[in-house]
């Protein structure tokens, strides 16, 4: 074997991306394509009484204006929330559920003409009173029921109330997180092309081409085989592109109405309204511990916002069920229906918001018990998943603590807040534990050895910027002992073998196992036909008289995996610096260590860890979505008002990739890394702020007003 797994190869698609030859969805040239623009509702709740379109329709180049009055009624059945199917707003009635909900679509021969005509559409409406504040409506919270995380919104073991009565140290605090908007560099875009009435091709900026296929087939009453979805490059996803939103169906509807291809690209302000967000949460953490700081009771209750017309649960309590050893644990998740759009999965869903609360509370417990924060976590280390009552497939978090702490210099940290200074600035050191599920889903792949020696491997997955083109090529090269430059990995097309959406940090584990399996089958087909152990595979194909020899493999979860609790783990250490006169938090340095099984490519892995850390800095310190309570409209609707981290916000980030062998998680020992980097960094920052100032901040983001 060549041993290509584990080598730090440059990304195969890097040159195409930096030279501009990588073609993203909105750049794909389709002959005779028209342009569609969505007209959004000016109100958050009520009904549309009428839409005046005459002025728009009279404009040059306008082909059609679709409204609830003339849009075709789609034959598709109602979505099934249990399957993760989203409720879409596609002009089927006059109800309004949130601001900027699509209420009309203007189609014209150019984008500029469509935009101009859309501005001329006049709306008559009947507005109802708006309820858009989670705090004010928390009394209306309902249990998430069977729509909760992992199928259950609540969990319980032991007797928390009785254990709390015996605890030496008791802590009960409320932690809040605010909306975090998705802002991938590439906005959502869809181009729809009909071939007659029963065949549809969609070019879409999506993390899940088969999800898009299935939703469109269902909504338009088509056979899935007659819907083809293509997405070769994606300029970031982060969860918002995980399943199709209303604009995808509207693009297909518009293309059918004008009988020509239609391109629809969301604007940046529309990205804040139409494609979900990380919801506001209110989390109550209760901890009880003995005199040494050993946990005897833990409860984690989450209330989050949701829309009135759909369901989404931010699973903030999952890590509290297993991360630490504790005999008495309860978690719950409730939602409050508001006049807002539906939230969605956002990088590290649940883990990011929930770990902020849990790890902040653990830091508070460390001070209550007068125990070093790392030592407290060591005393509460769980050797098995006590929630699922299973051993971990691997848990190398102790090595993460040790290596990151040593590199950071944690042993020099004084316990007393405010005791470190650098010139006139306060210095604080904080840390947090990190965990994220190591998921895997069924996936299929085909491996083809061509007569010229090229190995073509295909799977209908997506590369959302995580390096999928590269790491799948490495896995294939390793399996068949061929040079990496002779491998071509093809993805992003529903004509290829089916694979899951690229989300939940599961692509490498899912598709990687399928690719390895397909290549192993191909090797088994080719090897007996070799005339010498080192004869090139191309010679075997040439003798066969065929242009290629191929093998297909469908990977499923192994029975072995079901016996274990599968997670990645890590530790994040942060230094902050704060001027007491102008308490703006500056990140001095971050050292983070992660243990995530087999690392296919250290370069792509490191970039994913760093991406998560940078997102965490933004969530902790910069990103604020301001919702006007009178209108329920997000008023921070572009990147001049919604502040994401820039280069000066980000220090040198040191990432330690801790060696871990996990022989149970899957055949390759691979765990995903795309989201774990964001889990824990917010709490580590908040804990460092406390260490610097003595002021405990329990609400994100940490802004100047909270520190004054």
pLDDT tens column, 546-589 = 999 999 999 998 888 999 999 999 999 999 999 999 999 999 99
Which alpha helices (DSSP H) does 618-693 contain, by range?
Answer: 681-693
330 and 295 inside one domain: yes
Token code pair at residue 147: 């729509």
> At 403, which CATH number?
3.30.365.10
- For residues 508 and 514, give the distance between their C-alpha atoms in angstroms, rounded to a whole number: 10
Count structural domains, the chain: 3
Answer yes or no: do 571 and 540 share one domain. no
In the chain, the largest separation of any two C-alpha atoms, in whole Å, equals 80
Mean predicted lDDT score pLDDT of the chain: 96
3 state SS of 531: coil
Q: Which of 223, 375, 675, 699 is catalytic?
A: 675
- Establish if 1 belongs to a structural domain: no
Of the pLDDT bands very low, low, confident and very high (cuts 50, 70, 90), residue 1 is very low
Question: Domain check: are 402 and 449 in the same one?
Answer: no
- Report phi then psi at 193, rounded to 5: -130, 120
pLDDT of 50: 98
Q: What is the pLDDT of residue 76?
A: 77
Mean pLDDT, residues 604-609: 97
Average pLDDT over residues 324-335: 98
Distance CA 523, CA 507 (A): 23
| Rounded average pLDDT over 123-146 | 95
State whether 525 and 628 are in the same domain.
no
The enclosing H or E element of 537 equals helix 537-544
Residue 398 in domain: yes
Confirm whether 27 is a catalytic residue.
Answer: no
How confident is the model over 195-229, as pLDDT tens digits? 999 999 999 999 999 999 999 999 999 999 999 99
- My answer on whether 315 and 401 are in the same domain is yes
Query: What share of the chain in percent tops pLDDT 90?
Result: 96
Of 323, 344, 321, 322, the residue nearest 332 (C-alpha): 321
My answer on whether 485 and 597 are in the same domain is: no
Residue 516 lies in a domain: yes
pLDDT digits (tens, 9 = 90+) for 538-547: 999 999 999 9
Place of tokens 């005199």: 291
Are residue 328 and residue 350 in the same domain, yes or no? Answer: yes
Residue 82: pLDDT band (50, 70, 90) is low
| pTM summary value | 0.97
Residue 9 lies in a domain: no
Residue 297 shares a structural domain with residue 401: yes
Mark whether 477 and 534 lie in a shared domain: yes
Q: What is the pLDDT of residue 238?
A: 93
Any idea of the CA torsion for 410, 412, 417, 422, to the nearest 10 degrees? -100
**Residue 578 shares a structural domain with residue 696:** yes
The verdict on 160 and 300 lying in the same domain is: yes
Residue 440 has pLDDT above 70, yes or no: yes
Peptide bond before residue 244 is cis, with ω within 30 degrees of 0: no
Residue 614: the pLDDT is 97
Domain end marker among 224, 249, 274: 274
Look at residue 85 in the predicted model and tell me its pLDDT.
83
Residues of the domain holding 461: 441-556
HSE (side-chain half, CA atoms, 13 Å) at 70: 14
Q: Is the pLDDT of residue 518 over 50?
A: yes
**242-300 per-position pLDDT tens digit:** 999 999 999 999 999 999 999 999 999 999 999 999 999 999 999 999 999 999 999 99
Residue 155: name the closest of 318, 356, 353, 324 by CA. 318
Say whether pLDDT at 531 is over 80: yes
Whether residues 38 and 110 fall in one domain = yes
What is the reported pLDDT for 557?
87
Structure tokens at 477: 């090269």
pLDDT band of 77, cuts 50, 70, 90? low
């Amino acid at each position: 074997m060549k041993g290509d797994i584990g080598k730090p190869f440059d990304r195969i698609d890097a040159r195409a991306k930096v030279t501009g030859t990588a073609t993203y969805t909105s750049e794909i040239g389709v002959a005779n394509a028209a342009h569609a623009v969505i007209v959004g509702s000016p109100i958050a709740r009520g009904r549309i009484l009428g839409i005046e379109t005459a002025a728009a329709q009279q404009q040059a180049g306008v082909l059609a204006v679709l409204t609830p009055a003339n849009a075709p009624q789609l034959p598709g059945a109602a979505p099934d929330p249990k399957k993760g199917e989203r409720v879409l707003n596609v002009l089927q009635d006059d109800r309004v559920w949130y601001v900027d909900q699509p209420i009309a679509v203007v189609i014209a021969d150019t984008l500029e003409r469509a935009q101009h005509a859309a501005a001329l559409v006049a709306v008559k409406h009947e507005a109802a009173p708006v309820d858009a504040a989670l705090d004010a409506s928390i009394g209306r919270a309902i249990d998430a029921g069977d729509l909760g995380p992992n199928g259950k919104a609540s969990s319980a073991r032991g007797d928390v109330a009785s254990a709390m009565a015996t605890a030496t140290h008791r802590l009960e605090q409320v932690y809040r997180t605010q909306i975090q908007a998705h802002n991938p560099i590439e906005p959502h875009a869809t181009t729809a092309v009909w071939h007659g009435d029963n065949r549809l091709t969609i070019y879409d900026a999506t993390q899940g081409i088969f999800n898009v296929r299935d939703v469109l087939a269902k909504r338009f009453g088509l056979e899935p085989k007659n819907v083809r979805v293509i997405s070769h490059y994606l300029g970031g996803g982060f969860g918002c592109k995980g399943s199709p939103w209303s604009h995808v169906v509207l693009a297909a509807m518009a293309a059918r109405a004008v009988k020509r291809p239609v391109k629809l690209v969301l604007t940046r302000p529309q990205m804040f309204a139409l494609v979900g967000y990380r919801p506001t949460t209110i989390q109550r953490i209760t901890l009880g511990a003995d005199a040494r700081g050993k946990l005897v009771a833990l409860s984690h209750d989450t209330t989050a916002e949701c829309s009135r017309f759909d369901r989404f649960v931010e699973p903030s309590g999952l890590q509290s069920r297993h991360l630490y050893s504790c005999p008495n644990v309860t978690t719950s998740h409730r939602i409050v229906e508001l006049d807002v759009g539906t939230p969605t999965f956002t990088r590290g869903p649940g883990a990011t918001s929930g770990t902020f609360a849990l790890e902040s509370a653990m830091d508070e417990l460390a001070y209550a018990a007068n125990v070093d924060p790392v030592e407290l976590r060591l005393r509460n280390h769980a050797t098995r998943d006590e929630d699922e009552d299973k051993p971990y497939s691997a848990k190398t978090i102790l090595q993460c603590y040790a290596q990151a702490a040593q590199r950071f210099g944690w042993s020099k940290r004084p316990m007393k807040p405010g005791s470190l200074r650098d010139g006139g600035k306060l210095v604080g050191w904080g840390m947090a534990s990190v965990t994220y599920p190591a998921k895997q889903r069924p996936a299929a792949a085909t491996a083809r050895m061509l007569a010229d020696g090229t190995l073509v491997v295909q799977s209908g997955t997506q590369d959302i910027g995580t390096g999928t083109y590269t790491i799948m090529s490495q896995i294939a090269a390793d399996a068949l002992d061929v040079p990496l430059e002779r491998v071509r990995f093809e993805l992003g097309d529903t004509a290829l073998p089916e694979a899951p959406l690229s989300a939940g940090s599961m692509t490498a584990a899912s598709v990687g196992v399928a690719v390895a399996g397909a290549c192993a089958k191909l090797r088994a087909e080719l090897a007996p036909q070799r005339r010498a152990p080192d004869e090139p595979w191309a010679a075997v194909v040439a003798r066969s008289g065929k242009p290629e020899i191929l093998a297909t493999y469908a990977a499923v979860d192994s029975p072995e995996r079901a016996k274990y609790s599968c997670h990645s783990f890590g530790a994040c250490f942060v230094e902050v610096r704060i001027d007491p006169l102008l308490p703006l938090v500056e990140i001095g340095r971050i050292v983070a260590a992660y243990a995530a099984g087999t690392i296919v490519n250290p370069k792509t892995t490191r970039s994913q860890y760093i991406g998560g850390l940078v997102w965490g800095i933004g969530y902790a310190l910069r990103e604020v979505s301001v919702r006007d309570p009178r209108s329920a409209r997000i008023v921070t609707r572009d990147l001049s008002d919604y502040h994401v981290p820039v280069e000066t916000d980000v220090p040198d980030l040191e990432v330690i990739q801790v060696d871990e062998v996990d022989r149970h998680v899957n055949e390759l020992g691979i765990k995903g890394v795309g989201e774990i980097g964001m889990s824990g960094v917010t709490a580590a920052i908040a804990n460092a702020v406390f260490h610097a100032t003595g002021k405990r901040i329990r609400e994100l983001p940490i802004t100047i007003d909270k520190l004054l």
